[in-house]
Copies of this chain bind each other. A is one copy, B any other.
Amino acid sequence: MNLGFIGLGAMGRPMALHLIKGGHRMGVWARRAESAAPLVAAGATRHDTPAALAAVSDFVFTMVTASNDFEQVILGEQGLIHGAKPGSVVVDMETISPAVARAVAQQLATSGIDMLDAPVSGGPMGAEQATLSIMAGGKVEVFERVKPLFECMGKTVTRVGDSGAGQITKACNQLALLVAAQGVAEALHLAGRLGADPAKVREVMMGGVAASRVMELFGKRMVERQFDNGIDTRLYHKDLGIVLDLAHEACIAMPAGALVMQQVNALMGQGRGRDDLGALITVLEGMSARD
């Protein structure tokens, strides 16, 4: 099978490498040669444009950053749509707006190209270990064709519904995750300010009903004041923007989501978009600063 991959960052690179390990021929497109280098070293071919890559691929996966990047790579001047073969499949794995996913899928369909929206949860660690949770939206038959490829990259692979449903599920996931992270930040901040040992309090909480992956991962970084090796907060900022746009458009009250956005906005406004989300605790510390 000829595969293509666009978007070779902290997530895309290990995901593409797992597909190569799965025994597939891989083509890539990247603006900068450095981004493509680890893939080329593993046997992938670098193409000059998304369209050129699409021309030789049965399936093209994208893991770029935001809705705009995705639209550009697919529909732009040298976009994938201008080269892709009818019957080929585009798989959008970044987190974008469900509306953009649906609109692009419809446009691709007019050229006979299928699309799945299939964002992931699990972060760079999940990508490295091929333990991602993959939530796909699109036609059943297209999903079944892509499923063995998803299984090279993830542990939990689920078709959640039609086009757009993957992105809706991802939006829900990010909302639950971000609100939980704010809860952990407030709990550990309270612990510290009341003279308890946040490390011990976190450990105890991990033994009870408050236990969560968020407590495990982000809580640990909050306790260790280690904010430089996780997923960039700017990505959560983008994702939460998608959530609140959905809520706004459909007039759905989302009180805690909106509140957490303000905390994330504060962090972004401090120029800390490349910090891990664990840095949410520092926003609370700033609010309750003593001296």
A positions within 8 Å CB-CB of B: 98, 120-123, 126, 132-133, 135, 155-156, 158, 160-161, 165, 168-169, 171-180, 182-184, 186-191, 193-197, 200-201, 203-205, 207-215, 217, 243, 246-247, 250-257, 259-260, 262-263, 284, 287-288
User: Is A212 a contact of B180 with CB atoms below 8 Å?
Assistant: yes
Is A257 a contact partner of B186 (Cβ separation < 8 A)? yes
Q: B160 touching A196 by the CB < 8 A rule? A: yes
List 20 extra interface pairs beyond A177-B183, A183-B257, A190-B246, CB under 8 A: A158-B207, A160-B200, A165-B196, A168-B190, A168-B191, A168-B201, A169-B196, A173-B208, A176-B187, A177-B210, A180-B210, A182-B183, A182-B256, A186-B255, A190-B252, A193-B252, A208-B213, A209-B214, A210-B213, A251-B288
- Is A155's CB under 8 angstroms from B211's CB? no
Q: Taking the nearest CB of chain B, how far is it from the CB of A267, in angstroms?
A: 14
- Whether B201 and A209, one on each chain, are in contact in the complex, defined by CB atoms closer than 8 angstroms, is no
Q: How far is the CB of A34 from chain B (nearest CB, A)?
A: 28
How many copies of this chain sit in the oligomeric assembly? 2
Chain B residue at minimal CB-CB distance from A263: B255
Selected contact of A122 from candidates B208, B243, B247, B250, CB within 8 Å: B208
Closest to A198 in B: B172
**Cross-chain contact of A211 among B187, B213, B256 (Cβ < 8 A):** B213
Instruction: Report the bound CA distance from A219 to B132 in whole Å.
Output: 21
Known contacts being A204-B156, A207-B156, A253-B284, is A183 close to B179, with CB within 8 Å? yes
Q: Given A204-B160, A287-B253, are A190 and B209 neighbors across the interface (CB < 8 Å)? A: no
Which of B173, B196, B217, B256 lies in contact with A260, CB distance below 8 A?
B256
A-B contact pairs, 21 of them (CB 8 A): A120-B208, A123-B209, A161-B200, A168-B196, A172-B196, A172-B201, A173-B208, A175-B183, A179-B180, A179-B256, A180-B184, A186-B256, A189-B252, A190-B252, A193-B252, A209-B213, A209-B217, A210-B213, A210-B214, A211-B212, A212-B215
CB distance from A135 to the nearest CB of B (A): 5
With both beta carbons as reference points, the residue of chain B lying nearest to A171 in the complex is identified as B190
From A182, A217, A256, A287, residue with most partner B Cβ within 10 Å: A256
